[in-house]
Amino acid sequence: MNRRILLNLIAEGEGLKVEFKQRFSTHEKIAKEIIAFANTRGGHILFGIDDDKSIYGLQSEKSEAELIKQTVDEFCEPKIEYKISYFELDDKEIVAVEIPESKFKPHRIQDYQPDLDLNTAQVYVRVNDKSVLASKEMIKIMQVQSSERILKNYKIGKNEKKVFEFLDSNETINVKQLSDIANISYRRASRTLINLVRTDLLVIHTKDNGEEYFTYSGL
């Protein structure tokens, strides 16, 4: 990152790929932001910038960098790639952390479990200017995408047809709605929608409150 890019990020404000932090808060809170960026489209965390874009500055960029390194090393699983840059704006120290989109999703808060547990893992994704917990459906989709398991010769059955019929009259559908209209279990409805995402027929979306819904691909 260079100075021009930094100034552009500050001018644009917080969003899907940018988060401002006046200072380092706690390892868990910063890990949440880092994980969300890695699990989504990547992004930048700018330390020393207030939410209103004002340049607050840091007391010690070295201390900040050490805390960030400790966060990535000890609080993120699996480990996340990142890059730190240092800047001086208005005679104040700024630390910028760039997190690329990961190829090894899903990342979670370190829980020291050998495998990811869908019921307990704290997996975060970025939605607009917030980092929110991912649903089980989102986590499963990330697992599939990272393993590059392609769904071949997928047959459209009655449950899939129920999805298409519903979406012909409604813009979105969620797992509970499919479970109700198709009279199937929540687990089976979830699996049906995930498979349709894997075939590129549907896309999964996340609301600000963490709720997931599905639309036709391209919407």
Q: The domain that contains 149 carries what CATH number? A: 1.10.10.10
**90 and 149 housed in the same domain:** no
Angle at which helices 186-198 and 175-182 cross, to 10°? 120
How many domains does the chain divide into? Answer: 2
Q: Whole-model pTM?
A: 0.84
**187 and 110 housed in the same domain:** no
Give the single-character DSSP code of 186: H
Listed residues 133, 165, 190: the one ending a domain: 133
Distance CA 73, CA 123 (A): 16
**201 and 105 housed in the same domain:** no
The tens place of each residue's pLDDT in the chain, 219 residues long, gives 899 999 999 999 999 999 999 999 899 999 999 999 999 999 999 999 999 999 999 988 888 999 999 999 999 999 999 999 999 999 999 999 999 999 999 999 999 999 999 999 999 999 999 999 999 999 988 988 777 666 667 888 999 999 999 999 999 999 999 999 999 999 999 999 999 998 888 999 988 888 899 999 875
Residue type present at position 211: E
**198 and 115 housed in the same domain:** no
**13 and 101 housed in the same domain:** yes
Give the single-character DSSP code of 62: H
Listed residues 133, 157, 174: the one ending a domain: 133
Cβ-Cβ contacts under 8 Å for 208 (sequence gap 6 or more): 127, 128, 130, 132
Q: Is 153 exposed, middle or buried (0-12, 13-18, 19+ CB in 10 A)?
A: exposed
**85 and 163 housed in the same domain:** no
**155 and 184 housed in the same domain:** yes
Distance CA 77, CA 107 (A): 5
Domain extent at residue 7: 3-133
